[in-house]
């Protein structure tokens, strides 16, 4: 019988419906999915061999779960995707506040209705999306919010005294009966509030005020927590932690390729931006390498972590930076440049927590440093090491370029240079184009220009030439004259 035809308790009984707990429901649905080859967590990348097998094991074991990891590690995303493991529709007693199962009612309301109506008791069907509740743990959360309390207005309206359990106003947890309930940032929940969860997790019941009320709630609990919170803001009380069956540790992407796939999946880049701005793989790599450099930087607080949101926001800013240049230059289309990476500075400075040494440097300087290290790493992966190339018996691969700068030549690339001028500035550098062709072979014209710009930035990172950022662009010149200019500037500032 189709569910739209099942509208009463009697019809539900005839359909052969059998109650089952949410944990059994999720377990059975997961078993069916695994056998069919369907992955309900396909949107989660990088966890295929680590987090997801542990998560599936915990679900098969019918466990309450805590996802423990630094910020930006998809903990909440995983919890929300668990809804896919629920049946599409679930029958409840119509009008029930706590999603009473028609064959296993819990609330006084459901008992009274079924007693009065019998098999004619009306049934409604709840979609699985309505069986998910999420609560962010904040210091102001109360027991009444989560468990419930007496409702004076209900008592007055229904003319009931406070001894009648019908005056109870249920909190979020009872209203999540037969559902998934997620508490994010669990350590932020006050210890006395955490204590109120003990019985619910272990015995599956709760108590509200002085009522002798026992509701064997059927809930799949999922908690998330950041290890940093244990010391900075709060902690999970030991008895509660002991009642959470499976603790699963999350982590950041382990490879550039995985990180890049996550960023491209999550970044909100408009189709019109992709149509007008041509992105190159080298720039995508650089965006990810900035985060990898930050996660090992001595200036960044590693206990706080570097969220995947950094690269997501950075990629959006890089696209927009190139788009802005295209609009101001009145060009119909443009290609990504290395300099566009510096347009992502606001995405970096706002998403890294600095240690004391980093605070002394300043957020902007640390961001510049991270971008520089990312460029250096990519440059070293594509081109010969400048230090080793100096000692190469066959000659320094960069000699012609460096000599050109040593002769007093300067390259100034304005931030708003149009494509024609950008190409002219780069091709003026002797030996630069020839190096690209010799090292990387045949490339498209835009890719060649991008690699030429990368070489200039890379040589600057290896102190072979100098690089100076100004508001209107970047200037490359020989290293020695730049040092003298800096010393002269320092002397002038002293006077």
Radius of gyration of the chain (CA): 31
Per-residue pLDDT of 50-108, as tens digits, reads 999 999 999 999 999 999 999 899 999 999 999 999 999 999 999 998 899 999 998 88
pLDDT score at 159: 65
pLDDT at 479 over 80: no
Find the mean pLDDT for residues 158-176: 73
User: pLDDT tens, 330-373?
Assistant: 999 999 999 999 999 999 998 899 998 989 889 999 999 999 99
Model pLDDT, residue 166:
66
Query: If we measure between CA atoms, which residue out of 210, 172, 164, 168 comes closest to residue 189?
Result: 172
pLDDT-derived band of residue 486, with 50, 70 and 90 as boundaries? very low
pLDDT at residue 487 is higher than 50: no
- Rounded distance, CA 484 to CA 495, Å? 17
Mean pLDDT of the chain: 88
Residue spans of the domains in the chain: they are 3-249, 253-382, 383-495
Q: Which fold has domain 253-382?
A: Helicase, Ruva Protein; domain 3 (1.10.8)
Which is higher by pLDDT, 435 or 152?
435
Q: What is the pLDDT of residue 488?
A: 45
Same fold, 3-249 and 253-382: no
Calculate the CA dihedral of residues 383, 388, 393, 394 and round it to 10 degrees: 10
Query: Is pLDDT of 124 > 50?
Result: yes
234-272 burial by CB neighbour count: b if 16+ within 10 A, else e?
bbbbeebeeebeebbebebbeebebbbebbeebbebeee
Q: What is the pLDDT of residues 420-461, one digit of tens each?
A: 999 999 999 999 999 999 999 989 999 999 999 999 999 999
Could you give the percent of the chain with pLDDT greater than 90? 64
Q: How confident is the model at residue 139 (pLDDT cuts 50, 70, 90)?
A: confident
Q: Which of 315, 313, 308 is nearest to 292 (CA)?
A: 308
Kindly report which listed range (51-65, 86-100, 134-148, 311-325) carries the lowest average pLDDT score: 134-148
Return the pLDDT at 240.
87
Confidence at 160, pLDDT banded by 50, 70, 90 = low
For the ranges 36-50, 95-109, 115-129, 162-176, the lowest mean pLDDT is seen at: 162-176
Burial 311-340 (b: 16+ CB within 10 A, else e): bbbbbbbbbbbbbebbeeeeeeebbbbbbb
* Span 385-407, pLDDT tens digits: 988 888 877 788 999 999 999 99
Assigned fold of 3-249: Rossmann fold (3.40.50)
Q: Would you say residue 212 has pLDDT above 90? A: no
């Amino acid at each position: 019988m189709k569910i739209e035809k099942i509208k009463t308790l009697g019809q539900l009984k005839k359909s052969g419906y059998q109650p089952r707990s949410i944990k059994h429901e999720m377990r059975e649905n997961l078993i069916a999915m695994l056998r069919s080859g369907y992955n309900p967590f396909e949107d989660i990348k990088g966890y295929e061999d680590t987090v997801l097998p542990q998560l599936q094991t915990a679900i098969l074991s019918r466990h309450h779960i805590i996802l423990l990891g630094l910020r930006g590690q998809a903990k909440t995303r995983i919890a929300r995707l668990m809804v896919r493991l629920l049946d599409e529709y679930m029958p409840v007693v119509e009008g029930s506040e706590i999603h009473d199962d028609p064959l296993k009612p819990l609330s006084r309301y459901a008992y009274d209705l079924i007693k009065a109506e019998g098999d004619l008791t009306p049934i409604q069907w709840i979609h699985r999306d309505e069986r998910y509740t999420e609560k962010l743990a904040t210091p102001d959360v109360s027991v009444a919010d989560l468990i419930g309390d007496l409702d004076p207005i209900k008592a007055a309206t229904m003319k009931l005294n406070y001894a009648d359990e019908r005056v109870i106003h249920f909190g979020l947890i009872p209203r999540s009966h037969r559902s998934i309930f997620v508490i994010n940032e669990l350590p932020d929940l006050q210890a006395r509030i955490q204590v109120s969860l003990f019985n619910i997790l272990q015995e599956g019941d709760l108590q509200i005020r002085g009522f002798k009320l026992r509701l064997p709630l059927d809930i799949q609990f999922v908690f998330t927590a950041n290890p940093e919170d244990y010391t900075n803001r709060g902690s999970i009380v030991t008895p509660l932690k002991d009642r959470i069956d499976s603790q699963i540790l999350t982590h950041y992407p382990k490879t550039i390729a995985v990180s890049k796939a996550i960023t491209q999946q999550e970044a909100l880049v408009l189709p019109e931006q992709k149509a007008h701005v041509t992105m190159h793989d080298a720039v995508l790599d650089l965006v990810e390498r900035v985060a990898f450099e930050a996660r090992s930087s001595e200036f960044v607080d590693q206990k706080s972590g570097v969220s995947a949101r950094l690269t997501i926001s950075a990629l959006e800013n890089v696209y927009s930076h190139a788009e802005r240049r295209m609009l101001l230059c009145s060009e119909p289309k443009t290609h990504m440049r290395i300099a566009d990476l510096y347009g992502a500075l606001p995405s970096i400075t706002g998403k890294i927590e600095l240690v004391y040494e980093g605070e002394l440097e300043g957020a902007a300087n640390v961001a510049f440093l991270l971008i520089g290290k990312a460029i250096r790493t990519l440059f070293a992966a594509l081109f010969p090491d400048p230090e080793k190339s100096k000692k190469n018996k066959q000659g320094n691969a960069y000699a012609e370029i460096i000599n050109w700068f040593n002769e007093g030549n300067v390259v100034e690339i304005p931030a708003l240079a149009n494509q024609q001028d950008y190409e002219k500035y780069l091709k003026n550098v002797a030996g630069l184009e020839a190096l690209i062709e010799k090292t990387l072979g045949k490339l498209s014209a835009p890719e060649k220009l991008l690699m030429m710009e990368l070489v200039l930035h890379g040589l600057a990172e290896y102190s072979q030439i100098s690089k100076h950022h100004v508001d209107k662009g970047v200037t490359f010149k020989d290293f020695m004259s730049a040092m003298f200019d800096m010393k002269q500037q320092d002397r002038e500032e002293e006077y």
